[in-house]
Structure 1
Amino acid sequence: MRIPCPHCGPRDEAEFSYRGDATVTRPGPEDGIEAFHGYLYERRNPRGWQVEWWQHGAGCRAFLKVLRHTVTHEIRAVATATEALEVPEA
């Protein structure tokens, strides 16, 4: 898999570390322990497009959002951590 880093250009996935689902938001203290338990242990396992966190550890060390298909591993878009990426309709 080749990931097009916005800072370094296209690189092999071996230079990156997968950091998880980028659409999950951490609950606040007011949400309670059950919400935090769900945040930690109850994750979706989607089949299709997903926005994910990746870190370019062997390059610029930046955190990136990657729109990747979980079945085909096709990468449709890459953005910096502050940019928005939307999951396309199936």
Structure 2
Amino acid sequence: MFLITCPFCGEREQSEFKAGGEAHIERPKQPTELSDDEWAEYLFMRKNIKGIQFERWNHAHGCRKWFNMVRDTSNDQIKAVYKMGEKPPIK
């Protein structure tokens, strides 16, 4: 078990948080004009890389707020945590 720093509440145990998938996915501007394949691509296809990943997380058993995290998936090391709407502190 490791600790995650919630940008609103501070450091808490990992068990209080739920992963919400890849961060910074831009919604299509005209979704009704997409083909079924294009809509499926937007809804379901996400990066699943080994290395630096930008993710959304929710403090489900705490303040219940969403935030973003930069995490190295190869070793679970958290590189940065930042609020929704903020630019990633790491590229």
TM-score interval for Structure 1 and Structure 2 normalised by the shorter chain: 0.7 to 0.9
Aligned-pair identity in percent equals: 35
Distance in 1 between residues matched to 2:85 and 2:14, nearest whole Å? 21
Q: Distance in 1 between matches of 2:7 and 2:43?
A: 30
Q: What 5-or-longer segments of structure 1 have no aligned partner?
A: none
Count of matched residue pairs: 88
**For the residues of structure 2 that align with 1:66 and 1:26, how far apart are their CA atoms?**
20
Query: TM-score scaled by structure 2?
Result: 0.84
The answer (yes or no) to whether the contact 1:2–1:10 under 8 Å persists in 2 is yes
Map 1:48-59 to 2 at 5 A.
48-59=51-62
TM-score (normalised: structure 1): 0.85
Runs of 4+ in 1 over 4 A off after TM superposition: none
Work out whether 1:47 is the aligned partner of 2:68: no
Q: 1 CA distance for matches of 2:6 and 2:69?
A: 10
In the alignment, which residue of structure 1 is the partner of 2:85?
82
The answer (yes or no) to whether the contact 1:3–1:13 under 8 Å persists in 2 is: yes
Structure 2 regions of 5+ residues with no counterpart? none
Residue 35 of structure 2 aligns with which residue? Answer: 32
